[in-house]
Amino acid sequence: MKKNPNILLVIPARYDSKRFPGKSLCYLSGKNNIKKTLIERTWLLAKSLKFKCKVIIATDDERIKSHSENFGAKVIMTSSKCKNGSERVSEVVKKLNENFDVIINLQGDALLTPSWFIEETVTKFLVSRYDVTT
């Protein structure tokens, strides 16, 4: 396994969801009734991982961009033509023009994914002979 793998974690987020427009900017109460948006809670999950990684929020919406930058996130704007999160991640990778050992697509509403699950998946992936895992 590579000692210091170059890892990118992208959180795709869109405003114009058909089922729940604006979901990323909805506030949720957490511990001690502290309210944070769905996108901020997902970003905090990504930032809590034990391994070093570049965390980017990918969106085509200025409201999500502005809100995310206010809590300290790095944001890359993507095309409104992206059909899904995977296309947003792909666009970010192309814009960054770097070589990554691992690219993680952490959906913007996946705040309940346990951090240990992401960490273990990445660790096992790095020692595997596979190119992709889901």
* Global confidence as pTM: 0.93
Determine whether 36 is exposed, middle or buried from the number of CB atoms within 10 Å of its CB (0-12, 13-18, 19+).
Answer: middle
Q: Which of 47, 58, 56 is nearest to 14 (CA)?
A: 58
Q: Which of 3, 16, 2 is nearest to 78 (CA)?
A: 16
Instruction: Spell out the per-residue pLDDT of the chain, length 134, in tens.
Output: 678 899 999 999 999 888 888 999 999 988 888 999 999 999 999 999 999 999 999 999 999 999 999 999 999 999 999 999 999 999 999 999 999 999 999 998 888 899 999 999 999 999 998 888 87
Report residue 10: phi and psi, to 5°: -110, 135
Q: How far apart are CA 100 and CA 8, in angstroms?
A: 7
Q: How far apart are CA 104 and CA 106, in angstroms?
A: 6
- Give residue for tokens 């396994």: 1
Structure confidence at residue 17 (pLDDT): 80
Which tens digits make up the pLDDT trace of 100-110?
999 999 998 88
